[in-house]
Amino acid sequence: MSDKERAIQFLDQIPECKMYYIIGVLEGAGLEVMTDLQIITILEMVDMILDGCESIDEAKKKVEKLIEQRKEKKLSSRITKQKRAANTQATRLLSRGQELGK
């Protein structure tokens, strides 16, 4: 019997109320394993976020603010890229127009 077949047999024995936990484990099993450096980096970021916070609510607000700032920065970057692309296209069109006018 293969490991996969054994796992399926075990799944049949797990009560529905605990299946949520098993699904989480199975979903994570397909993900790449984090390196020690990645884990340390995440923990350092959490430490920086919690620094100065006196309550969990304060920490949550700080995280929400950081997420919002990141979204705004990403949107701003996207708009800037679109403007650059539009300017480049306009410049090309003007150059072609000048060449045709000669």
Q: pLDDT tens-digit profile of 17-50?
A: 877 777 877 777 666 677 788 888 888 888 887 7
Q: Is residue 27 part of a domain?
A: no
| CA pair distance 69, 31, nearest whole angstrom | 28
Asked if residue 65 is part of any domain, the answer here is yes
Looking at residue 98, its pLDDT comes to 72
Phi, psi of 33 (to 5 degrees): -80, 135
20 inside domain? no
Instruction: Establish if 88 belongs to a structural domain.
Output: yes
Its domain, for residue 84, covers 32-101
In a domain? residue 7: no
**Portion of the chain with pLDDT greater than 70, in percent:** 92
Helix, strand, or coil (residue 54): coil
Flag whether 64 is in a domain: yes
Please count the structural domains in the chain. 1
Residue 80 lies in a domain: yes
Task: Determine the pLDDT at residue 31.
Answer: 64
Q: For 36-87, write each residue's pLDDT tens digit.
A: 888 888 888 888 877 888 888 888 888 888 888 888 888 888 888 888 888 8
pTM of the model: 0.40
